[in-house]
Amino acid sequence: MFGWFKNPPMPINEIVRSYDSTPMPSPKTPVSEVNFLVLDLELTGLDPKKDHIVSAGWVPIRQQEIMLGDSAHYLVKSPIGVGQSAVIHGLHDHQLLKGIELCELVQGLLSQYPGYVLVAHHAQMDLAFLTVAAERCFGRSPKFKAIDTLKIEWQRLHNKGKVLTKDMLRLNSCLARHKLPEAPQHHALADAFACAQLLLSQIRQHSSSMTLGELQSLSR
């Protein structure tokens, strides 16, 4: 095994404490006043305990405007080879050698975006990998929560009486229904940007006066 898996837990890091203690918006806050951070991770597999993050992309939304100038995309060094996962995300071991360390990635997210509401498509997977990454780096993880555009879309289609299949909830299928441009699949920044567009379309279709609490209830 790799040495960094064997290290004893680190003390609770001040960055984690600061992130956790930063107030989040009240559920009564209009979504137009909420800062969102839409993110996507590319992975070597689906098990957060043995697989790894190989790239990350995120896009902030402020006042319902996608802030492309503040978006970011990172390759992440992996302690193992990417193996067959390269077929999916298109990244190879030699490219990841130029990436940043996992702990730099997590530290950057936590220090730059406290108080932001996280958003992802199939958020459960991304949050599981972020949680494990923070635990490895800092000995403890923030209590990550996120709006899930996949669950919002499921709820929207269910309310219309649609018979759902798994393919209907894939990101590009959701984009097509909202008449949004197709995203290049499995590129972290492109997927984060597409997810940001989808979120704003979902909000518009529901109500322009929607609150964060209402959005969160659609995402359950």
117-137 burial, b at 16+ Cβ within 10 Å, e below that, comes to bbbbbbbebbbbbbbbbbbbb
| Mean of pLDDT over the chain | 91
Point out which residues pair with 83 in neighbouring strands: none
pLDDT of 12: 59
The enclosing domain of 36 has a CATH number of 3.30.420.10
Q: Is the dihedral of CA 189, 190, 191, 194 positive or negative?
A: positive
- Mean pLDDT calculated for residue range 58-67: 97
Q: Domain for residue 112, yes or no? A: yes
Please tell me the total count of domains within the chain. 1
Residue 12 lies in a domain: no
Host domain of residue 184? 26-218
pTM of this structure: 0.91
More confident residue, 11 or 40: 40
- Residue 2 confidence class, pLDDT cut points 50, 70, 90: very low
Contact assessment for residue 51 and residue 45, using Cβ atoms and an 8 Å cutoff: yes
The residue-averaged pLDDT of 155-164 equals 89
Report the range of poorest mean pLDDT among 8-17, 39-48, 148-157: 8-17
The reply to whether 1 falls in a domain is no
